[in-house]
């Protein structure tokens, strides 16, 4: 028998970010493109953008910055705030995994 | 910002018990009746019984004993194993709530 689970960050306005949204942010960082990130997450651009908007609104500062125009057209950049949120989630997730492991051991 | 989450017990055969199944076991203990417990959980008798069977199979010993006949007809009794499982889950849940509280504090 094992203990398993999941965690997420939330604000008074609802879910802020869990496993899926953090993965989306990581893919935006990797590709510099919401479109590519959305495809890899098997969601539509619209779905991805709605999740980003939900996070941006709850965080007060944008986590993803949509650049437009310039050489090679637009692109999307993960902001420093976006990086912070990923780091924060990962740190808590690591501690949660340790918690699950410790609890599973004493079952 | 807060950290929230959920946990469940699982075996190699899948989910063993989470919040819902534990609540079902508690209601069976309270009412001595799967039927009453199912109604309070807003599920059909069949759904409740399937969840109980899934737990019974994974635990090797029954968590709920279906009594039949006797004065006043049948009834269902939570076994000692059922009590143990509730206690185990509640203990882990308590520690998980402490974990969430501690993590939320340092956000």
Report, at the CATH architecture level, how domain B8-101 is classified.
Answer: Orthogonal Bundle (1.10)
pLDDT at A52 over 70: yes
Interchain CB contact of B99 with A (< 8 Å): yes
Q: Distance between CA atoms of B1 and A10, rounded to whole angstroms?
A: 6
- Span B24-38, mean pLDDT? 95
For the entire predicted model, the pTM comes to 0.89
Q: Which CATH number fits domain A14-105: 3.90.1570.10, 1.10.260.40, 1.10.10.10, 3.30.450.20?
A: 1.10.10.10
Of the candidates A1, A8, A107, the beta carbon closest to that of B4 is on: A8
List the single best residue of A20, A96, A104 to mutate versus B (max B Cβ within 10 A). A96
Rounded to 5 degrees, φ, ψ at B34 are: -65, -35
Complex ipTM, two decimals? 0.89
Interface residue B91 vs chain A (CB under 8 A)? no
Q: Is B4 on the interface with A (CB under 8 A)?
A: yes
Residue A89: what pLDDT? 97
Minimum-distance CB partner of B9 among A1, A8, A99: A1
pLDDT average, residue stretch A12-16: 93
Domain ranges (residues) in chain A: 14-105
Residue A70 has pLDDT above 80, yes or no: no
Enumerate the residues of chain B whose CB falls inside 8 A of the CB of residue A10: 1-4
C-alpha span between A9 and A14 (Å, rounded): 9
Over residues B44-98, the pLDDT tens digits come to 999 999 999 999 999 989 999 987 655 555 689 999 999 999 999 999 999 999 9
Sort residue A82 into left (φ over 0), alpha (ψ -120 to 50) or beta: alpha
The end-to-end CA distance of chain B, in Å, is 7
pLDDT of residue B49: 94
Closest chain B residue to the Cα of A7, Cα to Cα: B5
**Residue B66 has what pLDDT?**
84
Q: Which two tokens stand for residue A25?
A: 């942010």
């Amino acid at each position: 028998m094992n203990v398993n689970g999941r965690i997420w960050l939330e604000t008074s306005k609802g879910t802020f970010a869990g496993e899926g949204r953090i993965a989306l942010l990581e893919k935006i960082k990797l590709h510099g493109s919401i479109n590519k990130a959305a495809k890899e997450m098997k969601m539509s651009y619209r779905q991805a953008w709605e999740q980003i908007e939900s996070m941006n609104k709850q965080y007060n500062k944008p986590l993803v910055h949509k650049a437009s125009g310039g050489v090679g057209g637009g692109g999307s950049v993960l902001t420093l705030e976006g990086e912070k949120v990923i780091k924060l989630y990962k740190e808590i997730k690591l501690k949660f995994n340790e918690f699950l492991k410790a609890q599973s051991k004493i079952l």
